[in-house]
Structures are given as structure tokens and as C-alpha cells.
Amino acid sequence: MKIKRSGRKGNVNQKPIRDTYLPYGRQWIDDDDIEAVVEVLKGDFLTTGPLVSTFEESIATYVGAKYAVCFANGTAALHGACFAAGITQGDEVITSPLTFAASANCILYQGGIPVFADIDEKTYNIDPKEIEKRITPKTKAIIPIDFTGQPAYLDEINELAKKHNLVVIEDAAHALGATYKGKKIGSISDMSMFSFHPVKHITTGEGGIITTNNKGYYEKLLQFRTHGISRDPSKLINNHGPWYYEMQFLGFNYRLSDIQAALGISQLQKIDQFIGRRKIYADMYDKSFREIPQIITPYQHSHGVSSWHLYIIQLDLAMLSGSRLEIYEALQGHNIGVNVHYLPVYLLPYYQELGYQQGHCPKAEQLYEKIITLPLFPAMTENDVDDVIQAVKKIITFYSK
């Protein structure tokens, strides 16, 4: 890819810095992971079996929660949490616009109404003051996002929830291993969701989980992921015998398999190593970009420690002669697999058809126009990080006014 600029000599991508493409995120699978999966394939359980429970217990222990329930993916887990919270037709749920669509879609699945509250300009997380402005008698829950791996303002959010009798469903898809005031994310809110998509901290291929300290939520989540079916003799309306089960409400087939759980168990044993590498690489980026006036590096609030799912730079476009698109394409031209996270959810065509309008969350919209996500994943090398740094510096210099 070659980018030409009128009025300039030379080309920003005359010779690509990298010969091979570096994605923004990628899984790290080793021989131990492969052996764990093969062992299951040789055994009796391929779908939900004993390893699912083992994985749930391992995640619960890791984050310090009493219970954990696996789901087929993070979206299914959020759907289950919305069901367990009792969200139903016409209920309002407040969430951030700066997130993947699933954080709001899960509300719609239950007939609820997503209400978007603007972000804090520093952390990019949902602003508790904006949440408070949007609470009405119809509000049932809050879904804060731990964006990029940095915890949201959980004290303020949980205080608001307690004051207004709301449920907090923390979308911690980015934040496995992060801490908030010394406590692991996953042990603080009413329910927390983690994703095990391949670009996340650990992977099960596809997969998600809800952690909670509430036994009632735990039991609802278990039943919801299996069609609403119960085999518990103490909960059956009728009991025809040991083979008998009842579908007691409309649930879904959202189960995780033992194949996936085996991979997750193996991956979890390496999570400290994975997060440690992410922090090293994020620190390398910080040190390299902090003194470049055209770049705003991520702000880290003292309330929490990020687990660094994403590293996002913000461009000061007033100091650059090129657009965000031109800089993005120039980086791609150097085989640097940058991305953009995210277009505010309510600007997606489906949400526009529902009546959401541009301008609803101006800070999120303004931020979207200026951000670029750089590659960050543990299977990178320091040489990979140096390539990214070199490419960013070269392109920013080229487009500087």
C-alpha cells in the first residue's frame, strides 16, 4: 500500500518496516494447550462435562468470587446476566456507547432499552455523573465497561446502584486479571462477564463466563444456559423418576464444551505470564510516545490496575496534516495491523433504525474520530513492539505540521 501526499516529496511507505503482517491481537497456544485438548478428545466427554465445572471453579478462585458459570461466548454470558437480573420488556439499562455491540445487544435480547451515558475523557470509561443523569423509575441495571482492561469507576457506580436499587453487570471482557483498589475484577459487582475470544487474555476459542457472589443469580445462570431445564429434585413441579427433567422457563443452549474448558484451564495457568508481557509492551509504548505532542497515550487512573487488553493512542489531529484514515492506512502499509475500538454503538445502522441519534454522547463521538488501537498481545516480541514504535514515529513525523 502506498500513500501519496500532494505537496510533499517522498512516500511514507517507500519501504515497509515489516515484511510480515502483525495483527492487533492474537492467541498464544502452546504444546500444553494442545495436549490438554487432545486428552479430552480421547475421553468420554466432548460437550459439557466435568472440566467445565473445573474451569468455572478455577476462574472463580482466580478472581475471588463465590460462583462462576461458563457460556458459549461472552455475548451469551451477558444475555444470561440480563436474564438473571430480571431485565424484561421496557426496562432501561444504562451502559457505555464506547464498547462492542454485545454490551447493548444483551439488553435488547430481554426486551430492555439501552440507555447510553457518555464517557470520562481521561479513562474512556463510562462517567458516573452521566449515569446519574439518566436514571429514571424505569432503570433496572447498569452495565459499565472496563474499557481496554482499565476498571471503570466501580465505587461510584455501585453506590448509585445501591441508592436506586439497580443491578450492576460489569462487562469485564477486556479486564481479566485487572484489579480495582487491590481487589480482582470479577469479585466486586453483582455480576461480571469475561470473554475468552482469541484476542482476549486467555482463550477457549469462543467462550464467556459470569462471576458472582449471589447464589440466586448463580442458579438462574446455570438453568438459563441449558434451555431453562432443571434436574434438581428439590425444584421439580412433578417428579416421574430419576430420568425426569423440567423446562421451567425459556432458556437457551449456551453451554461451553469440555474441549473448550480444557483449553481454558491450560491457558489460565499462564495468565500471569500473559498479562506481564502485555504490561511490558504497554510500558514500551508509553515511554516511546509520551513525549510526542501529536499523540495522547492512555491515562491510567489510580483506582485500578489495567490488564492491558488494548493499547489505544489518541491523535491530536490539529497538529497533523493527515487524517486518522491516512495514518491508519499508512500503518497498515507498514504491515502494522492497527484497528479502531469502537464506533459508538448507537451510531451503528441497526441502532439508528431504533431511533438513536448522533450527538447523544458527544465525548464518545469526538474520541472515536481520533483513536487508533496498536498491536498488543503476549505472543509479540520486543522486536515486534519496536517495529510498531518505529512505524508510528515515522508516520507521525511525516504528517506533522
Q: Active-site positions?
A: 200
Q: Convert the pLDDT of each residue in 131-169 to its tens digit.
A: 999 999 999 999 999 999 999 999 999 999 999 999 999
DSSP SS3 for 400:
strand
**Mind listing the domains of the chain with CATH numbers?**
31-268 (3.40.640.10), 271-399 (3.90.1150.10)
- Distance (Å, rounded) from C-alpha 167 to C-alpha 216? 13
**Mean local confidence (pLDDT), 320-337:** 97
* pTM for the whole structure: 0.95
Q: Is the confidence at residue 6, as pLDDT, over 70? A: no
Dihedrals φ, ψ of 354, to 5°? -80, -10
- Distance (Å, rounded) from C-alpha 348 to C-alpha 371? 18
Which residue's entry shows cell 448463580?
218
**Mean local confidence (pLDDT), 237-250:** 92
Q: Convert the pLDDT of each residue in 259-305 to its tens digit.
A: 999 999 999 999 999 999 999 999 999 999 999 999 999 998 888 99
Q: Is the confidence at residue 13, as pLDDT, over 90? A: no
CB 361 within 8 Å of CB 119: yes
CB 8 within 8 Å of CB 397: no
**In the chain, what is the straight-line distance between the N-terminal and C-terminal CA atoms, in Å?**
23
Q: Around Cβ 393, how many Cβ atoms within 10 Å?
A: 14
Confidence of residue 342 (pLDDT cuts 50, 70, 90): very high
Helices and strands per DSSP (H, E), number in the chain: 13, 15
